Structure 1
């Protein structure tokens, strides 16, 4: 499963016309440097500067520069200040502002940049929160342009060479190009959104935040094994669609690793399924299909068997089911549908409400999933830098777990392809939606 596959699927539904002015302001800042700051502008992309109260260019109450920091100001680069030698974060995102015509800003321009803007805004709010507690960072925001040449150039630039942490790029092809051309192979490169298997990149310094499909498979296998009771049977319902094949690949062995003594069958049709059903225990149906026809066929069959009065079912599905509308199936919730998710956002919590209000106040729109992800990434990695400094962060990733507003991090390490996040949550369908168990 790859959540960053193409640009059409990465749009933020709440941006629309509200973000036209925000994007136009950013475009003006970058291309013309002639627009005055307005509400909604936190930092423009291509921004370089510190985040925190200890500004290297700060002045005292009389307006005079702090003499201890004057040499850094004279140099024209905050990176010259040794206070920030281990606190430099480079944020590399596909704003693609070079494609925007300021005089005729279109909806397509907003959509093209929405993913980068959402993540960037959430990330900046996270750093601001840490700065409010006394932390300091030097943030360098760069536009990857979703372009191979631009990514290769950035990877070898002085801005990147000096970074103690790199967050981005976003799209799989960008990640590979950037990482391959990166000069400093010791600095961590954070893959913030793509759910591709880390082995596809083969970059030892890569940190993938989105749990790969293997983590979801293992989590469902563990949950199925936990719910299995003597007399139950487990049925793996194989389908021909790519998601279904990928999700059930290795599922049988994964379940048996958690509970070896299970009765488990693999079928590829409802006819075969019906031949294996148990009338004495629960039937635990595991499928990875995301094909609407296959889902309709499966649910129709379960409804018919329930009407016979002999069978009970528990249904386990693909994480992408969270995007589907199952209200058209009135009996769907009867099967306690269970999926995994990288998201454990509790919208009703005080912290979630505070973040949403702060985000809306700053930008005039509600946060998207990518905004929450950006915020969590800033809190976690900013916290690591604050705690350990920006050097040798890799020594702490596998020992420092994290439960954020939206995401959790529990990293595993591989010498060939770096660090992958293994943290997913279990969600159950109740009240017409999937939610935390």
Structure 2
């Protein structure tokens, strides 16, 4: 366990300023003049000075305690041991996230907040995460951040099932129902909210009567299809038809007869299978020369280098995303500058997420004397993503904010 006190005031984290000055304001009373008979002139009495009582000294902010559980796997630093490729990648993610979160706390400390950050090494082992759930210091913390992987988080929260402090899932988009803990705070929007966002955009902005869902046949696609269809049915009140078809070897003959030439045909492909996508989208590209198409894809498509931007642009492809960074924005520039100054490297996406979450939860802790509450009433505009939490019984708080992106000028850009 590494204990880190966050008492550094500026984004640079070098010093803390606490202003404890007491100002005494001296007010002079009006002079009183006594008239006398003999000398023709009189001089006024000296002013009576009445000093004000000293103002009370400001009370230091309550210190909020944060327990952070990350897979540093420090045992691999011992002689005779070493990191594997997987454990090294996990440790780098943990370090980047920690540094971003710590930088946020440092900047909040400059505003008068007070934190104690305890770091615990989960070692990337499920049993270690489970054991940390019994640690008294962890259990007594005002906020618990991590573990970051679903299996570790599930083992950890299986112990902490009572009414306790919030447990933040900082990086995993796993469905909260698989964790099933009322204190869980899921920051990365799960897949169903990507489907919900796409369905909402199609229903409210494209005003179509029919949506075609092209399936590869793998059952995991239902994690996207079911919430997508339910949202379409709910928002359109049954006026928009969802046509689901399993596509084999890219054959779209049966659907072609239902396509129109005078308005865009809305296509949804929830697959992430490379072979299926390659052949299906090649056929769809050919059909788009005759039938106008607007394509909606899985959020993971953003990471697929095999999907060419020119093809995606021709198909007017839309993708949902929880990560949109405006590198020209002043807040982003200031963060990057401070991060480089402190750590001598450029921030990764995990450092960005750590900073956003550190700012959000740090402010809530400071404003509520160590409590994290009113998440549903406190939205947040971050550098990496925005936060809009809802609360669901038995599964805790879930961030539902998802961005809609499309391909323009061969780049993926934010629409809303």
With the shorter chain as reference, the TM-score category is: 0.7 to 0.9
Q: Does structure 1 residue 432 correspond to structure 2 residue 410? A: yes
Within the candidate set 186, 196, 199, 2:177 is matched to 199
Partner of 2:359: 379
Which position in structure 2 is the counterpart of 1:300? 282
User: How far has the Cα of 1:126 moved from its partner?
Assistant: 0.8
Instruction: Give the helix-richer structure, 1 or 2.
Output: 1
Tell me the CA shift for residue 334 of structure 1: 2.1
Q: Does 1:92 align with 2:69?
A: yes
Give me the TM-score of the superposition, normalised by structure 2.
0.81
The equivalent position to 2:388 in structure 1, one of 410, 420, 425, is 410
Tell me whether 407-416 or 89-98 shows the greater mean CA deviation: 407-416
SS across alignment from 1:301: helix
Q: 2:5 aligns with which of 34, 39, 49?
A: 49
The answer as to 2:302 corresponding to 1:319 is no
Matched, 1:401 2:383: no
Q: Is the 8 A contact 2:161 2:181 kept in 1?
A: no
TM-score, normalisation: structure 1:
0.77
Q: Mapping of 1:125-164 within 5 angstroms?
A: 125-164=103-142
Secondary structure, aligned partner of 1:92:
strand
Local SS of the residue matching 2:376: coil
- Of residues 196-205 and 406-415 in structure 1, the stretch that sits farther from structure 2 once superposed is 406-415
Gaps of 5+ in 2: 10-15, 19-58
Alignment partner, residue 271 of structure 1: 253
Inter-CA distance 246–158: structure 2 relative to 1 (3 Å threshold):
closer
- SS of the residue corresponding to residue 188 of structure 2 reads coil
1:165 aligns with one of 143, 147, 150:
143
Which string of whole-angstrom CA distances, capped at 9 and with x for unpartnered residues, describes residues 219-271 of structure 1? 000011123346x6321112223553322124223112222322442222222
Mapping of 1:15-34 within 5 angstroms? none
Give the drift of 1:412. 1.3
Look up the SS of the partner of 2:324 in the other structure. Answer: coil
Matched, 1:388 2:388: no
Secondary structure of 2:401's match?
Answer: coil
Measure, in 2, the Cα distance between the counterparts of 1:49 and 1:409.
Answer: 27
Cα distance change of structure 1 residues 106 and 253 upon mapping to structure 2, 3 Å threshold: closer
1:49 offset after TM fit, Å? 2.2
Moved over 6 A (4+): none
Partner of 2:399: 421
Distance 1:225 1:188, change over 3 A: same
Tell me the equivalent position of 2:225.
248
Which of 350, 365, 387 aligns to 2:330? It is 350
Q: Give 1:304 deviation, angstroms.
A: 1.8
> What does residue range 226-265 of structure 1 map to in structure 2 within 5 Å?
226-229=204-207, 233-260=210-237, 261-265=239-243
Residue deviations 1:130-159 (CA, integer Å, cap 9, x gap): 112222111111111122332233222222
Please tell me whether the aligned partners of residues 193 and 209 of structure 1 are also in contact (alpha carbons under 8 angstroms). Answer: yes
**In 2, Cα distance between equivalents of 1:88 and 1:329:** 46
Q: Residue 328 of structure 2 aligns to a residue in which SS?
A: coil
Answer whether contact 1:155 1:183 (CA < 8 A) is retained: no
Quote how far apart the aligned CAs of 1:119 are.
0.6
Structure 1 or 2, whichever has the larger Rg, is 2
SS state at 2:101 partner: helix
Quick one: structure 1 residues 338 and 284, their matched pair in 2 at CA, closer, same or farther if it must change by over 3 Å? Answer: same
Q: Answer whether contact 1:246 1:288 (CA < 8 A) is retained.
A: no
SS of equivalent to 1:129: helix
1:217 equivalenced with 2:195 (yes/no)? yes
RMSD between superposed Cα atoms in Å: 2.6
Distance 1:325 1:282 in 2: 26
Check whether the contact 2:62–2:366 (CA below 8 A) recurs between aligned residues: no
Structure 1 residue 373, shift from structure 2 partner: 0.7
The SS at the match of 1:142 is: strand
Q: Which residue of 1 aligns with 2:37?
A: none
- Number of corresponding residues: 364
1:303-325 alpha-carbon deviations (Å, 9 max, x no partner): 22233x3x101001100011022
Aligned pair 1:288/2:270, yes or no? yes
Distance 2:318 2:309 in 1: 16
* Secondary structure in structure 2 of the residue aligned to 1:276: coil
Matched with 1:365 is: 345
Distance 1:299 1:126, change over 3 A: same
